[in-house]
Homo-oligomer: A and B are copies of this chain.
């Protein structure tokens, strides 16, 4: 399953990521995916497409399946890819592994919309962004 992903982020779990049940809290996985997403955005040079911060990505939805409990200390590896290209949005997929193993801790997805931040309105994905996402991950339409 790892071979589906070309962009990876390593996450070192904080002790404080655990909750009162003694395992990593569900909300923290969304932060892990967010950090992986920004790594991915860095890989494709997304920031330079936003015309000085006027346009950029915003999350429309996020989901995560918790496959195994994770406890501190742990290191995780998050694979990230774009699985679908829409008109004003794209869908990303994540797989979170225990580092150096094939053990899947969690997987998830997110829909990212291209936004005019001031106007709060979605815009068509820039052509350059479509090309870069396409070249990296060959997402479905």
Number of residues on chain A facing chain B (CB within 8 A): 36
Q: Separation in Å of the A112 CB from the closest CB of chain B?
A: 11
Q: Are B61 and A65 touching (Cβ within 8 A)?
A: yes
Q: With A20-B15, A61-B63 in contact, do A27 and B34 touch (Cβ < 8 Å)?
A: yes
Binding site secondary structure of chain A: mixed
What mask results when residues 1 to 35 of chain A are scored 1 for a CB within 8 Å of chain B, else 0? 00000000011101110111110011110111011
Q: Are B72 and A66 touching (Cβ within 8 A)?
A: no
Pairs A–B under 8 Å by Cβ, sample size 11: A11-B12, A16-B25, A16-B27, A19-B19, A26-B30, A27-B28, A58-B69, A59-B66, A60-B65, A61-B63, A69-B120
